[in-house]
Amino acid sequence: MSKENEQEFSLQLLRSGDRAEIARLVDAYSTKIYRLALKMLANPQDAEDVLQNTFLKAIQALPKFEARSSLSTWLYRIAVNESLMLIRRRKPEIDISLKKDDDESELELTHFSDWCCLPESELISAEAQEHLDEAVQKLSEKLRVVFILRDIEKLSIAETSEALEISEAAVKLRLLRARLKLREILSKYYVERLDSEKKDEKQS
Helix axes 126-137, 168-203, angle to 10 degrees: 140
Q: Which of 107, 138, 198, 199 binds other proteins (CB under 8 A)?
A: 107
DSSP H or E stretch at residue 4: helix 2-6
Site for other proteins in 25-54 (CB under 8 A): 26-28, 30-31, 34-35, 38-39, 44, 48, 51-52
76 binds other proteins (CB under 8 A): no
Question: Does residue 55 bind other proteins (CB under 8 A)?
Answer: yes
Question: Residue from 18, 122, 151, 197 that binds other proteins (CB under 8 A)?
Answer: 151
Written as one string, the DSSP assignment of 81-147 is HHHHHHHHHH-TTS---TTSPPP-SPP--------TTS-HHHHTSHHHHHHHHHHHHTS-HHHHHHH
Q: State yes or no: residue 132 binds other proteins (CB under 8 A).
A: yes
Which one of 4, 7, 12, 20 is in contact with other proteins (CB under 8 A)? 20
CB of 116 to other proteins, least distance (A): 5
Contact 76, 149 (CB under 8 A): yes
40 or 94, CB closer to other proteins? 40
**Of the candidates 5, 200, 35, the residue with the CA atom closest to the CA atom of residue 119:** 200
The CA-CA-CA angle for residues 143, 74, 163, to 5°, reads 25
Judge contact between 144 and 40, C-beta under 8 A. Answer: yes
Give min distance, CB of 93 to other proteins, in A. 29
Q: Is 7 in a helix, a strand, or coil?
A: coil
d(CA 17, CA 64): 11
CB 77 within 8 A of CB 48: no
Q: How far is the CB of 103 from other proteins (least distance, A)?
A: 14
Q: Which of 116, 200, 202, 203 binds other proteins (CB under 8 A)?
A: 116
Pick between residue 17 and residue 91 the one whose CB is nearest to other proteins: 17
**Residue 130, interface with other proteins (CB under 8 A)?**
no
Interface residues with other proteins (CB under 8 A)?
Answer: 19-20, 22-24, 26-28, 30-31, 34-35, 38-39, 44, 48, 51-52, 55-56, 59, 107, 109, 111-116, 123-124, 128-129, 132, 151-154, 172, 175-176, 179-180, 182-183, 186-187
